[in-house]
């Protein structure tokens, strides 16, 4: 998932990979905006609502206080969303 990649890049070399991070944030936002909530089970909709709230804050790179904490949040969301979606498809 993009979020895990973004988090790994940020943890490894945020400043050196900032353009790539921004590219993947933009791509993730497009993917997220294209989701049709009518096809998403209610349990995942609740998670997505919380993710969207957090992502809208996290995607603003100029407002990051601690790059490692930011990276960890991205990786955590990547794990959460991957896990939640795997529960739905099984």
pLDDT band at 90 (very low <50, low <70, confident <90, very high): low
Of 35 and 81, more confident = 81
Among candidates 67, 70, 71, which has minimal Cα distance to 5?
A: 71
Q: What is the pLDDT of residue 38?
A: 66
What's the rounded Cα separation, in Å, for the pair 33 and 52?
10
> Which pLDDT tens digit goes with each residue over 21-80?
999 999 999 998 888 666 788 878 889 999 999 999 999 999 899 999 999 999 999 999
Radius of gyration of the chain (CA): 13
Q: 21: which 2 tokens?
A: 């991070």
Sign of CA dihedral 9, 12, 14, 15: negative
Q: What is the pLDDT of residue 49?
A: 92
């Amino acid at each position: 998932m993009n979020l895990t990649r973004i988090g790994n890049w940020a943890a490894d070399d945020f400043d050196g990979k900032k353009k790539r991070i921004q590219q993947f944030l933009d791509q993730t936002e497009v993917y997220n905006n294209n989701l049709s909530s009518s096809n998403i089970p209610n349990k995942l909709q609740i998670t997505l609502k919380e993710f969207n709230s957090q992502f809208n804050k996290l995607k603003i790179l100029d407002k990051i206080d601690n790059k490692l904490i930011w990276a960890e949040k991205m990786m955590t969301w990547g794990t959460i969303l991957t896990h939640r979606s795997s529960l739905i498809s099984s």
